[in-house]
Amino acid sequence: MRQYMPPAHRSFVERIGRAPSLQGYIAQCGDPELLSAFNECVLSLTDIRSLHIRIVCKYVTAAGARAKMSGKGMQHLLERGTGGSPIMAFLKNVRGTCKENVLNNDTQESC
């Protein structure tokens, strides 16, 4: 996917990938307020992922189903997203992976 990004975007994503892990730092830090703030951010991002799934259902999948019923032969809209991935399975997997990043209190040590 990165080969399709503009060079500046690709460079930014690669730089972020080389940076130290924020999640790792927070897991070791022992600051309950920092842990709570991190988890709120992760859960908010998970909510955004859920909203994205609902939007895709409403405007892409449903539109594809209507097109299929009207005989316009757009079956691919029901099953595939941009890049050819199985759209709903892909989006739900991304949301699940996001939610897995919530940290619990057991992971914390002191900074």
Q: Is 9 known as a binding-site position?
A: no
Q: Name, in order, each residue with C-beta under 8 angstroms of 20's C-beta and a sequence gap of 6 or more.
A: none
Burial of 20 (0-12, 13-18, 19+ CB in 10 A): exposed
**What are the residues facing 86 on neighbouring strands?**
80
Binding residues: 52
**Residues marked as binding for heme b?**
52
